[in-house]
Amino acid sequence: MKTPLTELLGCRYPIIQTAMGWVADATLVAATGQAGGFGFLAGAVMTPEEIEQGIRDIKARTDAPFGVNFHMYVPHADDIVDLCIAQGVRAVSYSRSPAAHSVAKLKSAGIVCIPTVGAFKHAIKAVELGADALVIQGGEGGGHTGSVATHILLAQVREAVSVPLAAAGGFRDGRGLVAALAMGAQGIAMGTRFLLTQESPVPEATKAVYLQTPPEKIVVSTRLDGLPQRMIANSYLARLIAASQLGLLVRALRNGLAFTRMTGSSLWDMLKSAWQMRRSGDLSLGQTLMAANAPMMIQEAMVRGRPEDGILPSGQVAGLIDDLPTVDALISGIMTEADTTLDRLGQHHERRTSGE
């Protein structure tokens, strides 16, 4: 299936695997590329050295194109940009506080810039800064999310920009892909659906919780870092909701220090990054100081296999997923269903035009 998105990214099918922290590792990205989709390595929770090793591991597994995700406000952002250029990755994704000079440098090297946005104003700003395409994530999506439903936000952005769009938030199958195409997107991006595959590194105990959770138990909370995030309602989230503001601040500082040590940064680096995020105008000082909360809390469930001791980011679509296919079976199944759906719609059109 060719669309402007597949032509831009060089993949066979218009299906993007998003860069979920602790989940989108080299194995998952390579499997996605081999199956015809386009995967992003989750560099936002990695050191530059780990990103480089991840890129090498992906290349050792597949010749398919892939991308890297990272935050442009982190201390080593310039090094990661240079690394992506040197390694010749096909695309880079990012979200908050994109650096104009970094976007320009990537584009001049022929690397596709495709940020994820969850609000109309952020989509406009991203294109003004040079984005080649956008992932439009509606409120149904997991992790940091906006308040506008996917089909509304997609229509709003489609009327305002001309770059290719991938719709995210609520997608899991071929019917969803066809619906996204009908709404003006050129493909779909999925996180939770790829998390629940055999190649996903998430421990089985954590996957089991996702498979057993109904849609109404996948809620939005601001208790992690002051920004809306969609996650599964578990006992850990309940404890966060009951915690005092002082307790949350202490937890944020502790997690911030742990995150800086993990990524090879310093306390001064963390404060500089917080200040840069604050200057972007989208975050308050408190939110910037709490920014490291989410990745550290997520680590407990996604890496250590303790789903009740950490946060479980999830799109609402998890409530409709009940299987753990291989990535190849997932993508081939989506495309088969998309073809069947398009054929059925074509038959409806033929009946209509023939007057039946």
Span 239-261, pLDDT tens digits: 888 877 666 666 666 666 666 66
Span 54-73, mean pLDDT?
96
Beta 229-232 vs 143-144: how paired, if at all? antiparallel
Could you report the per-residue pLDDT of 141-184, keeping only the tens digit for each?
A: 999 898 999 999 999 999 999 999 999 999 999 999 999 999 99
Indicate if the alpha-carbon torsion angle 118, 124, 128, 130 is positive or negative.
Answer: positive
Report d(CA 259, CA 295) in Å as an integer: 8
CA-based nearest residue to 335, from 48, 1, 34, 57? 1
Does 269 have pLDDT greater than 60? no
Q: How far apart are CA 229 and CA 242, in angstroms?
A: 17
Question: Which of 228, 19, 18 lies closest to 118 in space, CA to CA?
Answer: 228
Residues above pLDDT 90, as percent of the chain: 70
pLDDT tens-digit map of 300-331: 888 899 999 988 999 999 999 999 999 999 99
pLDDT at residue number 290: 57
Banded model confidence at residue 296, pLDDT cuts 50, 70, 90 = confident
Distance (Å, whole) CA 116 – CA 127: 11
Cβ(315)–Cβ(192) below 8 Å: yes
| Backbone φ and ψ of 165, nearest 5° | -125, 140
CB 265 within 8 A of CB 76: yes
Which residues in the chain are classed under CATH 3.20.20.70?
4-202+320-347
> What pLDDT is recorded for position 124?
96
- As a whole number of angstroms, the distance between CA 143 and CA 108 comes to 31
What pLDDT does residue 330 have?
A: 98
C-alpha to C-alpha distance for 110 and 68, rounded to whole angstroms: 14
Residue 198, SS3 per DSSP: coil
The pair phi, psi for residue 42, each rounded to 5°, is -80, 75
Calculate the alpha carbon distances from 322 to 194, 214, 240 in Å. Answer: 13, 10, 28
CA distance 220 to 202: 22
The residue among 306, 351, 353, 1 whose CA lies nearest residue 180 is: 1
pLDDT of amino acid 80: 96
pLDDT above 90 for 83: yes
Banded model confidence at residue 219, pLDDT cuts 50, 70, 90: very high
Q: Which fold has domain 4-202+320-347?
A: TIM Barrel (3.20.20)
Residue owning tokens 């402007």: 4
- Mean pLDDT is lowest, of 32-41, 260-269, 323-332, 342-351, for 260-269
